[in-house]
Amino acid sequence: LSLPGPGQALDPAVKHSLSTHMSAILADDPSPQVRLAAVEALQQLQPENLQAICLQQLKKEQHPEVSKALRELEFRNRRPDPDSSEY
């Protein structure tokens, strides 16, 4: 996946469509290599619901490399919980 460079915006509709497709691939493709590529694409796309996508997939992901990539991506994109004592 090649996204626009710095200072260049991706059309929001295209970003949404790509993110939706990458989420579907991540959820359904039998190949760990393809799912890992979907994680990398989602990392570049940074959809609003990225943390939720990662958490949902982590519930069922069995491949260690893909699980690790999902955990790392979720952690890097974690937002503070307004209801937590740390907020």
48-57 residue pLDDT tens? 999 999 999 9
pLDDT of the residue at 9 = 79
More confident residue, 37 or 1: 37
**Per-residue pLDDT tens over the stretch 12-68:** 999 999 999 999 999 999 999 999 999 999 999 999 999 999 999 999 999 999 999
Question: Where do we find the tokens 């393809």?
Answer: 34
Measured between alpha carbons, how far is 62 from 22 in angstroms, rounded to an integer?
A: 18
Question: What's the pLDDT score for residue 87?
Answer: 57
Predicted confidence at residue 78, as pLDDT, reads 85
Q: How far apart are CA 3 and CA 45, in angstroms?
A: 8
